[in-house]
């Protein structure tokens, strides 16, 4: 209170004039202009694990593109004078049983694995969104029918479908993608359906309907942009599992065939020569593990940053 009194004396009288409101600043928004994406990026940047993962993933992607071209070998070029070489200055990661350069094969294989995974995930999304959106938007009997179809699809074991498919078609990149998409889109369809059901009663959808908007405008203009975040997050979780599925199929011999390389093919090769030539197994394994871990960590980070439910 003592302090207070001292201060009071110092205040000049003109400070006590009524100046009123600051009308011009009343409705001003002082926060800096942030879009939803920018806001999410700010949150993501604070997540160290996600940022490191992002960096590692970028490195792997870049290496998988330029890696096969930095030395003179190609992935299918054999050299029977140089089989099972340990890593050295000429063959950085050594050579395999046919003397093929392991560095070139590793990055070629990573690229193909990523290509398959990303393409499969994209197709999943495309089919899943369409199916889920229609199912939820139509509702009623249509929804009922469409959901029963999904349940039947889920009921058939994956592996049976894949084996049947490979019996009919040549094993290769296309076959493996088709095999993965046939059952893979179901999860995305269910997710999108759930989201759209929730959005159907959101007040901004009602407002759009009250303005006379038609179904197309509501789905494309309002519902999809608002589920996009969750779709992308889910895709980031789908990619690593697709990578793993591809590797698994190739490993058990249902996937890609030599001389094509993929992470699964390489691990299968390495596994057979594991006792004497461990490096053949080690490098592809490191790549697949870092891919899986990094994709999952990044997806986790994205979910924390973009999913409103995870915020406090």
Partner 1 sequence: MNTLLTIKNLHIHFETHVGKVQAVRGVDLSVKKGETLAIVGESGSGKSVTAKSIIGLLPKRNAMIDKGEIWFENKNLLTLNNKQMKKIRGAKIAMIFQDPMTALNPTMKVGKQVMESAIKHLNLSKKEARNKAVELLNLVGISNPETRLNQYPHEFSGGMRQRIVIAMALSCNPKLLIADEPTTALDVTIQAQILDLLKHIQKETGTAIIFITHDLGVVSNIADSVAVMYAGKIIEKGTVEEVLLKPNHPYSWGLLKSMPNLDTKGKLYSIPGSPPDMIQPLKGDAFAPRNEFALAIDYDMQPPMFKVSETHYAATWLLHPQAPKVDFIRETQDVLMKQDDKISSIDNNVLLEVKGLSKYFYLKSKQTLKAVDNIHLEIRRGETLGLVGESGCGKSTVGRTIIGLHEPTSGEIIYDNTKLTRHNQRQLTKKMQMIFQDPYSSLDPKMKVEDIIAEGLDIHHVVKDKKERKQRVEELLKTVGLQPHSASRYPHEFSGGQRQRIGIARALAIEPEFIVADEPISALDVSIQAQVINLLLKLQKENNLTLLFIAHDLSMVKYISDRIGVMYLGTIVELANSDELYKNPLHPYTQALLSAIPNANPIVEKSRERIILKGTLPSPVYPPSGCRFRTRCLLATDACEKTPEWREVETDHWVACHYA
Residues that bind partner 1 (CB under 8 A): 4, 8, 11, 13-23, 25-31, 33-36, 39, 42-43, 46, 202-204, 206-213, 217, 222, 225-226, 228, 312
Q: How far is the CB of 83 from partner 1 (least distance, A)?
A: 55
Angle at 263 between CA 258 and CA 269, to 5 degrees: 55
In the complex, the smallest distance separating the C-beta of residue 221 from partner 1, rounded to whole angstroms, is 8
Whole-number minimum distance, CB 309 to partner 1, in Å? Answer: 13
Q: What is the dihedral of CA 51, 43, 308, 147, to 10 degrees?
A: -20
Q: Which token pair is 248? A: 């698994």
Residue 11 or 160 with smaller CB distance to partner 1: 11
46/71 with CB nearer partner 1: 46
Q: What is the dihedral of CA 6, 8, 14, 20, to 10 degrees?
A: 140
Is 22 or 170 the residue whose CB approaches partner 1 more closely?
22
CB 236 within 8 A of CB 117: no
* Beta carbons within 8 Å of 199's beta carbon, 6+ residues apart: 205, 222, 223, 226, 227
CB of 145 to partner 1, least distance (A): 17
Which residues, 6 or more positions from 119, have their beta carbon under 8 angstroms from its beta carbon? Answer: 177
Q: Which lies closer to partner 1 via its Cβ, residue 81 or residue 214?
A: 214
Measured from the CB atom, is 63 or 304 closer to partner 1? 304
Instruction: Give 151 or 203: the residue with its C-beta nearer to partner 1.
Output: 203
3-state secondary structure of 101: strand
What are the DSSP calls for 62-88, one per residue? HHHHHGGGSSS--TT---TTSTTPPS-
Min dist CB 21 to partner 1, Å, is 6
Q: Which is nearer to partner 1, 40 or 259 (CB)?
A: 40
Ramachandran class of 20: left when φ > 0, alpha when ψ lies in -120 to 50, beta otherwise = left
Query: Residue 258 CB, nearest distance to partner 1 (Å)?
Result: 47
Residue in the structure block whose two tokens are 């519902």: 223
Instruction: Between 15 and 167, name the residue whose CB sits nearer to partner 1.
Output: 15
Contact, 141 vs 130, CB < 8 A?
A: no
Query: Which residue lies nearer to partner 1 by CB, 168 or 211?
Result: 211
Minimum distance from residue 28 beta carbon to partner 1 (Å) = 7
Shortest Cβ 266–partner 1 spacing (Å): 41
C-alpha distance from residue 297 to each of 145, 157, 293 (Å): 37, 29, 6
Nearest-approach distance from CB 196 to partner 1, in angstroms: 14
Here the tokens at position 105 are 């094969």
Residue 95 is classified by DSSP as: B
Contact at 8 Å (CB) between 129 and 192?
yes
């Amino acid at each position: 209170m003592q302090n207070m009194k001292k201060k009071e004396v110092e205040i000049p009288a003109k400070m006590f004039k009524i100046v009123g409101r600051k009308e011009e600043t009343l409705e001003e928004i002082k926060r800096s202009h942030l879009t939803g994406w920018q806001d999410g990026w700010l949150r993501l940047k604070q997540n160290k694990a996600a940022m490191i993962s992002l960096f590692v993933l970028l490195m792997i992607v870049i290496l998988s593109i330029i890696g096969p071209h930095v030395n003179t070998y190609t992935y299918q070029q054999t050299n029977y004078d140089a089989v099972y070489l340990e890593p050295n200055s000429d063959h950085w990661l050594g050579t395999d049983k046919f003397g093929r350069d392991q560095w070139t094969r590793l990055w070629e294989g990573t690229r193909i694995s990523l290509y398959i995974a990303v393409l499969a995930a994209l197709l999943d999304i495309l089919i899943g969104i369409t199916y889920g959106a229609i199912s939820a938007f139509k509702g009623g009997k249509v929804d009922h029918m469409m959901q029963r179809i999904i349940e039947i699809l889920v009921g058939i074991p994956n592996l049976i479908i894949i084996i049947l498919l490979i019996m009919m078609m040549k094993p290769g990149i296309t076959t493996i993608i088709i095999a993965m998409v046939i059952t893979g889109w179901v999860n995305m369809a269910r997710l999108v359906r759930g989201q759209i059901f929730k959005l159907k009663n959101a007040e901004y959808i009602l407002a759009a309907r009250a303005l006379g908007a038609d179904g197309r405008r509501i789905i494309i203009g309002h519902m999809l942009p608002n589920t996009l975040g969750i779709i992308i997050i889910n895709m980031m979780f789908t990619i690593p599992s697709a990578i793993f599925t591809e590797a698994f199929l190739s490993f058990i011999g249902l996937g890609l065939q030599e001389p094509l390389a993929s992470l699964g093919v390489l691990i299968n090769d390495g596994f057979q020569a594991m006792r004497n030539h461990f490096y053949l197994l080690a490098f592809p394994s490191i790549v697949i593990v870092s891919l899986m871990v990094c994709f999952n960590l990044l997806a986790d980070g994205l979910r924390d940053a973009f999913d409103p439910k995870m915020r406090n």
